[in-house]
Chain A
Amino acid sequence: GDSVTQMEGPVTLSEEAFLTINCTYTATGYPSLFWYVQYPGEGLQLLLKATKADDKGSNKGFEATYRKETTSFHLEKGSVQVSDSAVYFCALSDRKAAGNKLTFGGGTRVLVKP
């Protein structure tokens, strides 16, 4: 079945540091890939997505490129802020006609210190 593996946290960084969170996936078809972010005490928010190979998703300074050859979708940000402290989830979508199924990675907690 489908699966998503992402690096375990917590990841602790200083403000303005470079952030990378690795994500690799296993899927039988051609899934869409997502990064969701969960701020403390809140639900998940879509951060960015990519629907096909070589697509780059970007939002709020974060980027991730859909790499079919390495089955990866690593999240990067060049200069993090304290407000980026959150848990980040990589996910893939198994598209079906009636409702789609998201498979999530285990989440990576990121803590940015001033």
Chain B
Amino acid sequence: ETGVTQTPRHLVMGMTNKKSLKCEQHLGHNAMYWYKQSAKKPLELMFVYSLEERVENNSVPSRFSPECPNSSHLFLHLHTLQPEDSALYLCASSQGGLAGVETQYFGPGTRLLVL
């Protein structure tokens, strides 16, 4: 499945580092999402972009900064993270609109470890 790709697949960073996660979708969709998947917690929606505009920000700390330069690319910029931010970060995309159901398609995720 190559519809939604994420890089890197694994990342280890210190608390003072700055890094970025990248997501790219090849499905022609117009909405993109970041989710956080932690052990023993439900999947948490972090950000939603529709038509390159952020439409949802679920009370995410400012040390996470999303960027959506176009409808195919989504970034998550990370700085001064905490160990509790270690998780699997999943990107998804969907085709938005009033008609029909928006099925979200997920990438493989980036496994992040903050030391």
A residues sitting closer than 8 Å to B (CB atoms) are 32, 34, 36, 41-46, 49, 51, 89, 93, 95-102, 104-107
Contact = CB atoms under 8 A, between A and B. Distances in A.
Contact of B50 (A43, A99, A107): A99
Interface residues of B, number: 31
Contacts of B103: 34, 46, 49
Interface stretch (B12-20, B78-86, B90-98): B90-98
Of the listed residues A43, A93, A101, A105, the one surrounded by the most CB atoms of chain B closer than 10 A to its CB is: A43
Interface of B: 1, 4, 6, 31, 33, 41-43, 45, 48-51, 53, 55-56, 90, 92, 94, 96-98, 101-109
Contact of B102 (A36, A93, A105): A93
A55 B96 CA distance: 22
Contacts of B90: 43-44
Given A44-B90, A51-B101, A99 B106 contact: no
A99 B108 contact: no
Nearest to B104: A102
Given A43-B109, A105-B42, A97 B98 contact: yes
Contact of A89 (B31, B43, B107, B108): B43
Nearest to B105: A46
Contacts of B94: 99-100
10 contacts: A46-B105, A49-B101, A51-B101, A93-B102, A99-B94, A100-B31, A100-B102, A102-B43, A102-B104, A106-B41
Given A100-B102, A106-B41, A107-B43, 11 more contacts: A43-B106, A43-B107, A49-B103, A95-B101, A98-B31, A98-B50, A98-B55, A101-B45, A101-B48, A102-B43, A104-B43
